[in-house]
């Protein structure tokens, strides 16, 4: 009963008819690809700049990966990038909201419908936010969430697949019921998950506040900010900086932590041409903006950046 109520709550949050919990976000992707019953050995388009787990999940499900470049504005794969790599062997698209910044998921939905492709919306870094008034996680044939490390809800375990189609919901439950590696088994964490779901709007509000602070206070000319609006809910606040390794060494010497996700996945495919993903992979730094980030930590990151000596 507790599992069913939690799944109903997730479905409602993401404006979906059905939500099925899984062991992880990657297992949610694998389950979605199986439930979609797309042609064996066909191809799946995904962005070249995102967590490599997405690529591995596609391969584990038995499909070939086609990498598309991303936008330097949304940090996400958009229709123009998808269309540049599309061919008739493609059966599905995984649209990732890059770094928590929404892609134009409505345009991608229209493109997928026109090409009769399965669309999986990867909202693992973005759920709790909205695009044009609709919840992220409500788009596509399937959407996937994660509750793993440093996700909007950070339990270190769990994910979910969401659908509107009863047929897909039945297929998902059939696949997961017979798959010990993929199904959600940690019933004991459901109270913690429900508590986090209740607190998510508060977490998102704090994240937006942290993002707005960094956007306003960082002024160093060597660091490139992304276009900003107050609806953005980044996973980690992104900046581009040339000679990144030099800055990260400077930050480490000042005991300030930044990360540098994600390395371009095009490095794994010699045929991929993804210059924007390559630039992100070599210049991106990420600043923590989760709700637990303290004002002292935010101040330290701003000071470290603004006082970075130009050479």
Q: Are residues 147 and 206 in the same domain?
A: no
Which of 192, 217, 245 is the C-terminal boundary of a domain?
192
CA distance 158 to 149: 10
51 lies in a domain?
Answer: yes
Which of 163, 192, 221 is the C-terminal boundary of a domain?
192
Q: Are residues 152 and 261 in the same domain?
A: no
67 lies in a domain?
Answer: yes
CA 137 to chain centroid: 10
Give residue 180's pLDDT band: very low, low, confident or very high (50, 70, 90).
confident
Note the pTM of the prediction, 2 decimals: 0.97
Indicate if the pLDDT at residue 271 is higher than 80: no
Q: What is the pLDDT of residue 1?
A: 52
CA distance 8 to 251: 44
Which of 138, 171, 192 is the C-terminal boundary of a domain?
192
Give residue 167's pLDDT band: very low, low, confident or very high (50, 70, 90).
very high
Contact 181, 27 (CB under 8 A): yes
Q: Are residues 133 and 270 in the same domain?
A: no
Q: Are residues 145 and 19 in the same domain?
A: yes
CA distance 141 to 11: 14
128 lies in a domain?
Answer: yes
CATH of the domain at 153: 3.40.640.10
Reported as type and span, the H/E element at residue 67 is strand 64-68
Q: Which of 62, 52, 58 is nearest to 27 (CA)?
A: 58
Give residue 269's pLDDT band: very low, low, confident or very high (50, 70, 90).
confident
- Give residues with Cβ within 8 angstroms of 88, minimum separation 6: none
Mean of pLDDT values over 31-51? 96
Q: What is the pLDDT of residue 270?
A: 67
Q: Are residues 186 and 119 in the same domain?
A: yes
The pLDDT tens digits of the residues spanning 68-102 come to: 999 999 999 999 999 999 999 999 999 999 999 99
CATH of the domain at 239: 3.90.1150.10
Q: Are residues 202 and 106 in the same domain?
A: no
6 lies in a domain?
Answer: yes
262 lies in a domain?
Answer: yes
Indicate if the pLDDT at residue 153 is higher than 80: yes
Q: Are residues 266 and 166 in the same domain?
A: no
Q: Are residues 19 and 142 in the same domain?
A: yes
Q: Are residues 277 and 250 in the same domain?
A: yes
Q: What is the pLDDT of residue 268?
A: 83
Q: Are residues 159 and 204 in the same domain?
A: no
CA distance 264 to 47: 9
Q: How many domains would you assign to the chain? A: 2
Residue-range definition of the domain harbouring residue 210: 196-306
179 lies in a domain?
Answer: yes
Q: Are residues 215 and 181 in the same domain?
A: no
Give residue 202's pLDDT band: very low, low, confident or very high (50, 70, 90).
very high
156 lies in a domain?
Answer: yes
311 lies in a domain?
Answer: no
DSSP β-bridge partners for residue 131: 134
Place of tokens 């790599």: 85
By DSSP bridging, strand 118-122 and strand 142-146 are parallel
CA distance 24 to 35: 16
Q: What is the pLDDT of residue 253?
A: 98
Q: Are residues 48 and 170 in the same domain?
A: yes
The pLDDT tens digits of the residues spanning 227-258 come to: 999 999 999 999 999 999 999 999 999 999 99
């Amino acid at each position: 009963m507790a599992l069913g109520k939690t799944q109903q709550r997730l479905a409602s949050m993401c404006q979906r008819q059905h939500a099925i919990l899984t062991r992880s976000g990657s297992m949610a992707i694998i389950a979605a690809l199986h439930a979609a019953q797309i042609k064996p050995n066909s191809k799946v388009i995904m962005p070249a700049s995102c967590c490599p787990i997405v690529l591995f999940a596609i391969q584990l499900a038995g499909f070939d990966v086609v990498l598309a470049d991303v936008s330097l504005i949304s940090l996400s794969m958009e229709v123009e990038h998808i269309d540049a790599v599309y061919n008739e062997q493609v059966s599905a698209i995984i649209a990732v909201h890059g770094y928590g910044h929404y892609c134009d998921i409505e345009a991608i939905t229209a493109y997928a419908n026109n090409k009769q492709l399965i669309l999986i919306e990867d909202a693992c870094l973005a759920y709790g936010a909205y695009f044009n008034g609709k919840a992220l996680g409500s788009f596509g044939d399937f959407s996937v969430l994660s509750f793993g490390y440093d996700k909007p809800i950070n339990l270190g375990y769990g994910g979910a697949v969401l659908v509107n189609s009863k047929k897909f919901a039945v297929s998902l439950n059939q696949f997961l019921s017979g798959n010990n590696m993929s199904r959600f088994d940690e019933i004991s964490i459901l109270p913690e998950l429900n508590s986090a779901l209740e607190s998510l709007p508060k977490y998102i509000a704090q994240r937006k506040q942290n993002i707005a602070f960094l956007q306003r206070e960082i002024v160093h000319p060597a660091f490139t900010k992304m276009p900003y609006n107050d609806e953005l809910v980044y996973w980690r606040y992104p900046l581009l900086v040339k000679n990144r390794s030099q800055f990260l060494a400077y930050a480490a010497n000042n005991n300030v932590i930044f990360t540098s996700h994600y390395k371009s996945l095009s490095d794994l495919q010699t045929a991929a041409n993804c210059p924007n993903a390559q630039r992100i992979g070599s210049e991106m730094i990420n600043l923590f903006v989760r709700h637990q980030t303290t004002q002292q930590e935010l101040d330290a990151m701003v000071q470290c950046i603004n006082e970075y000596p130009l050479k």
